[in-house]
Every structure is written in C-alpha cells, then in structure tokens.
Chains A and B, each alone.
Chain A
Amino acid sequence: KAGVTQTPRYLIKTRGQQVTLSCSPISGHRSVSWYQQTPGQGLQFLFEYFSETQRNKGNFPGRFSGRQFSNSRSEMNVSTLELGDSALYLCASSTPGTSFDEQYFGPGTRLTVT
C-alpha cells in the first residue's frame, strides 16, 4: 500500500503571495490532518478533514485554509504569506474506526517564504 504523499516537496515563495499544498492519503483513509512544524513552535495542529468536512481546527489565522475532495485528497492554502509561515508542513492520514486511529505521516512540504 502506498504511503501518504505530499506535493510539492519544496517550495519557495515571496511574502504576500499565496500557496497551495497537496496531500494524498493512504488508500482507504478518510481523515487527513495538517500540521505546521517549526524549530521554535514544534508541531502544531492546523486542521483535520474527514469526508470532505473540516472536523477540527487549530489556532491559526484565517489565512490558513484547507479542503478535502471526494477521493480524500486534501489541499491546504495559505494566503498573504508572511516570513513566519516558513515551515515544514506535514500531512497525516488515518482510518477512523480502529481503536487507536494512529496517524501516518507524509514526508512534508518545506515552504520557504522570502
């Protein structure tokens, strides 16, 4: 079974631009979560989508948004990029219904904002 894939793997953007990141979950997984990882703040939860609906949201400004498609693939969008948005963005998928619902992570998209 293929793992979680994220595209692109690396991205360089300029302050003020917007960016879209993509995540394809493991086949059969219907939940997709997004995290921002920075050296200073660690791993912070952005949001989770399940069956095309946002089910949970972390404490991030409205510039961060996401969506999920009927095939469970998910995208996250960051508008009006700021220097502080430079981070590794991780996507994780899981299959609710199991006792642990443990998450399987993708390799991440490293976003650099200049």
Chain B
Amino acid sequence: AQTVTQSQPEMSVQEAETVTLSCTYDTSESDYYLFWYKQPPSRQMILVIRQEAYKQQNATENRFSVNFQKAAKSFSLKISDSQLGDAAMYFCAYRSADNYGQNFVFGPGTRLSVLP
C-alpha cells in the first residue's frame, strides 16, 4: 500500500518570503499522480498543483512550484512571495495512474502560517 509522509506538522513564513513544504511517499508503482491540496481554515479544500510521475519537468502554477524527485520519492512544494491568503493546511496526495478508481492517499498535512 502507498503511504504519504509530511514531516513538518507546522511551518511559518514571513509575508513575501519563500517557503518549501516537504512530502515523501512510498510506492512500488511506476506511474502515478501527485497533488498538493490547500485547506484554508473553515474553507473548502482546493487543488494547488499536480504532477504526473512520468514527466520529469516540475509543475508550476504562478507562485507555486514543485520539486519532484522520482528516484527519491520526494515531492516538495515551494511557495514564492508568500501572501496572507496562503495560510492553510497543505496536504500532499498520491493517486495511482490506473484508471480503476479514485483512491487518493493523503499525507497528514502541514499547517502553514504567514506572518505579516
């Protein structure tokens, strides 16, 4: 079974600075998808960024980018120019690439605080 680990339960960053959230996973599969989801306080979980395992190029979405190291099974999220609205729980998630089912495996989450 796949597992996802986020070793930083809490992190903080100064507004306008850069922060990196860590995620490692364990799988024996070669094809899969990785995601970062954001859950603001008392608000809906939303997708931040996604990465296909077979693509070596790291995904980027505006201020959010990932560092995907397939051999090391690492998938970190970098937030540049942090804003107050970035404060949230961030979850790393794994999904097998087989089309049979939507069994996402989530990490325990990292609570990010943004300091003004």
Please report A residues at the B interface, Cβ cutoff 8 Å: 3, 31, 33, 35, 42-45, 48, 50, 55-56, 58, 90, 92, 94, 96, 99-108
Contact = CB atoms under 8 A, between A and B. Distances in A.
Interface in B66-80: none
Contacts, number: 60
B102 A101 contact: yes
B104 A103 contact: yes
B97 to A, nearest CB: 9
B50 A42 contact: no
Contact-size category for B: 20 to 34
User: What 6 A-B pairs are tightest by C-beta distance, nearest first?
Assistant: A56-B101, A43-B106, A105-B45, A42-B108, A56-B103, A48-B102
B86 interface: no
B101 A55 contact: yes
Given A56-B100, A105-B37, A106-B44, 5 more contacts: A42-B108, A43-B109, A55-B101, A56-B103, A100-B33
A42 B5 CA distance: 11
